[in-house]
Amino acid sequence: MAAYRGTVVLKAVKKILVQFCPFESNVRSTREFLFLVGSEKVRATNMNCAVLTEVKHDQSEPVIDVTFMDGEKLVMKASKLTSQEMLTALQTRCMAKDPQSRTGGKK
């Protein structure tokens, strides 16, 4: 698994739902994303953020559905994305929604 070097901050995230069929060949990046987002360090950035997993056995495409505090959603169809691309997309959106995370270290 490729190591993610950025900092994932879930401050602006209300819920992350990860859906996948474990028997499909295209779920590796989805499982890596789930592992990284579900880690203690990342979860500690927002203890109220629900990280849910829905394991299906219907040969469906892996999907990551992120709901932000303001109600906006980010849906990533993960079969053709790497875990790095998904984490970058999530963090970019989180930083746009939480201006303090961008300027916090620049005081």
Domain assignments of the chain as residue spans, ordered by start: 13-96
pLDDT band at 101 (very low <50, low <70, confident <90, very high): low
pLDDT, tens digit, 9 for 90 and up, residues 19-62: 999 999 899 999 999 999 999 999 999 999 999 999 999 989 99
- Above 70 in pLDDT, residue 63? yes
Residue 66's nearest CA partner among 99, 41, 107, 97 is 97
- Above 60 in pLDDT, residue 98? yes
The CATH code of the domain at 13-96 is 3.40.30.10
Q: What are phi and psi of 83, to 5 degrees?
A: -65, -35
Q: Are strands 63-68 and 13-20 parallel, antiparallel or unpaired?
A: antiparallel
Report if pTM > 0.75: yes
- Above 50 in pLDDT, residue 93? yes
- Above 60 in pLDDT, residue 2? no
